[in-house]
Amino acid sequence: MREQAGEEPGATVIDQPYVYRHRELAEPDWRRLPGWAEVTAADWESAQWQRAHCVKNIRQLRHVMGDGLDERFYADLERDQAERATMSMLVPPQMINTMAPETTPADPGFTEAFYADPVRRYMIPVFSDRHPEWPSHPRASRDSLHEAEMWPVEGLTHRYPTKVLAELLPTCPQYCGHCTRMDLVGNPTITIDKYRFELSRDDRLAAMLDYLRTHPGVRDVVVSGGDVANLPWPRLESFVAGLLAVDSVRDIRLATKALMGLPQHWLTDEVRSGMARLAATARQRDVSIAIHTHVNSAQSVTPLVAQAAKAMLETGIRDVRNQGVLLRGTNDTPAQLLDLCFALLDDAKIMPYYFYMCDMIPGSEHWRLSLAQAQQLQHDIMGYLPGFGTPRVVCDVPYVGKRWVHQVARYDRELGISYWTKNYRTGVELDDAFALEREYEYYDPIDTLPESGQEYWREDARTPVAAAG
Ligand code: SF4
């Protein structure tokens, strides 16, 4: 409560649940990290330097942090990599530098600040982050969205009637611990082998274009991976030019977390001029090209990220939008989400678009929120942002697709099972007369359930699965 200017003395107003303040974006000083103490601004702003200095293992993390991180952190990380990790480690300097940005490794509280950091929580997961009893939900699975089942050609997911997802490549400049495509993306880890494309990249991309030419009902193509920033620019440009030559394609979205993780890539002359060529062709053809990025935390939005987003807008593309993922410990409060959305909108001109609930892949239980928590977050962020910049919180329901969290048909809070319906057939149900009458399930994290619900799942885990056939 506070006194309001112009009010009667003693009159008070109650603060709003969230108070907006414009925050200047800031690039944390990378020279506070011992391994990069001598790195010049020119090197820092070079995409090549960033790629060459990504942190890929514990030895490299030690080199960057000097003596600043306790040994217990490295032991925790090593154990996670040996027993839990579904993604190998790959973190660009740009992202490491945004972790614990207010502290230096010489500060006594650095290890605790690093442990607690929202970006560290999903980019460098450690064993003690995970839930001790339920690291994975019993219904979690690789390729939890069944994208590969919906490939008419390898790497092209046809799930919705008018849209496809083109997975051009299985790598990214950064690997996120919670990656939905852990089945396909990145290097194998000790516990997870990865699917390998059977066709060569050129054959796959050619087959995707052939499919689109013969399926005029598809108007919207999400060009993804992995991350398109890892495709050599001439190859990406020729693929997008190929899409622009397909009459029925009206929307093209390029998916790249690297706009935040490696903004230096999107600031290179080659990429900027190439994107300007694509944008010019798109305008002539009345096609919208947009970049979709993946930012989960306000501290990731730095001046370089804003510069990269604005450079892309200046090429003449339609928009730059953000699809974040709701993650416990990273962005699970209304203030964290609103801080992020305002950081994106105010100075980076990135449109908040979606926040996904984290998908049900192995090892994701400690990151996931319950549907009820996601609904509450959607409720709590309404009304502060412009309507056009208010992100929808969505659940990507297996065999259904994205649904706003309030669209649930039924919800058993005790067992944490939500039931969803749909209004179209995915690529695997084109001859299924009952697909639209069925309900499809999604599951809350077990530790968020009442004790009776948790006991149900313990019993479920003890029950042997009946042999198929
Ligand atoms: S950038 Fe996207 S595709 Fe790549 S690891 Fe992260 S979530 Fe997965």
Please write the tens of the pLDDT for every residue from 92-126: 999 999 999 999 999 999 999 999 999 999 999 99
Closest CA to ligand 1's atom 8: 179
pLDDT at 211 over 70: yes
Q: What is the pLDDT of residue 8?
A: 63
Q: What is the pLDDT of residue 36?
A: 98
Question: 14 CA to middle of ligand 1, Å?
Answer: 42
Q: How confident is the model at residue 6 (pLDDT cuts 50, 70, 90)?
A: low
Assess whether the C-beta atom of 80 lies below 6 angstroms from ligand 1.
no
Tokens standing for 426? 């995915």
Lowest mean pLDDT among 31-40, 226-235, 296-305, 458-467: 458-467
Assess whether the C-beta atom of 175 lies below 6 angstroms from ligand 1.
yes
Question: 277 CA to middle of ligand 1, Å?
Answer: 27
Question: 224 CA to middle of ligand 1, Å?
Answer: 10
pLDDT at 12 over 90: no
Closest CA to ligand 1's atom 5: 175
Contact 64, 33 (CB under 8 A): yes
Question: 30 CA to middle of ligand 1, Å?
Answer: 24
Q: How confident is the model at residue 466 (pLDDT cuts 50, 70, 90)?
A: low
Question: 108 CA to middle of ligand 1, Å?
Answer: 33
Question: 115 CA to middle of ligand 1, Å?
Answer: 21
Q: What is the pLDDT of residue 469?
A: 39
Tokens standing for 209? 């274009």
* Structure confidence by residue, pLDDT tens digits, 216-254: 999 999 999 999 999 999 999 999 999 999 999 999 999
Q: How confident is the model at residue 1 (pLDDT cuts 50, 70, 90)?
A: low
| End-to-end CA separation in angstroms for the chain | 66
Mutate which of 143, 182, 227 to test ligand 1's pocket (most atoms within 8 Å of Cβ)? 227
Mutate which of 184, 185, 253, 265 to test ligand 1's pocket (most atoms within 8 Å of Cβ)? 185
Q: What is the mean pLDDT of the chain?
A: 95
Q: Report which DSSP code applies to 333.
A: S
Q: Kindly provide the b/e burial profile for residues 267-291, where b requires at least 16 CB atoms within 10 angstroms of the residue's own CB.
A: bbeebeebbbebbeebeeeebebbb
d(CA 382, CA 337): 11
* Structure confidence by residue, pLDDT tens digits, 45-80: 999 999 999 999 999 999 999 999 999 999 999 999
d(CA 139, CA 121): 23
Count CB neighbours of 92 within 10 A: 23
Please report the atom of ligand 1 found closest to the CA of residue 171. 4
Q: What is the pLDDT of residue 427?
A: 82
d(CA 293, CA 282): 20
Q: What is the pLDDT of residue 2?
A: 54
Contact 318, 220 (CB under 8 A): no
Please list, in sequence order, all residues whose beta carbon lies within 8 angstroms of the beta carbon of residue 46, skipping any fewer than 6 positions away. 264
| Alpha helices, DSSP H, located in 117-268 | 118-123, 201-213, 233-244, 258-261, 263-266
Residue from 170, 254, 255, 155 nearest 212 by CA = 155
Assess whether the C-beta atom of 226 lies below 6 angstroms from ligand 1.
yes
Closest CA to ligand 1's atom 1: 257
Assess whether the C-beta atom of 185 lies below 6 angstroms from ligand 1.
yes
Question: 271 CA to middle of ligand 1, Å?
Answer: 20
Residue from 272, 258, 352, 341 nearest 305 by CA = 258
Q: What percent of the chain has pLDDT over 70?
A: 97
Question: 82 CA to middle of ligand 1, Å?
Answer: 21
d(CA 410, CA 374): 15
Average pLDDT over every residue of 440-469: 88
Lowest mean pLDDT among 230-234, 390-394, 426-430: 426-430
pLDDT at 154 over 60: yes
Q: Report which DSSP code applies to 354.
A: E
Residue from 86, 118, 231 nearest 170 by CA = 231
Element (DSSP H or E) covering residue 111: helix 110-116
Assess whether the C-beta atom of 294 lies below 6 angstroms from ligand 1.
yes
Q: How confident is the model at residue 464 (pLDDT cuts 50, 70, 90)?
A: confident
Average pLDDT over every residue of 28-32: 98
d(CA 420, CA 35): 50
Average pLDDT over every residue of 361-388: 98
Question: What is residue 420's three-state secondary structure?
Answer: strand
Q: What is the pLDDT of residue 468?
A: 42
Q: Kindly provide the b/e burial profile for residues 160-180, where b requires at least 16 CB atoms within 10 angstroms of the residue's own CB.
A: beebbbbbbbbbbbbbbbbbb
d(CA 449, CA 371): 11
Q: How confident is the model at residue 11 (pLDDT cuts 50, 70, 90)?
A: confident
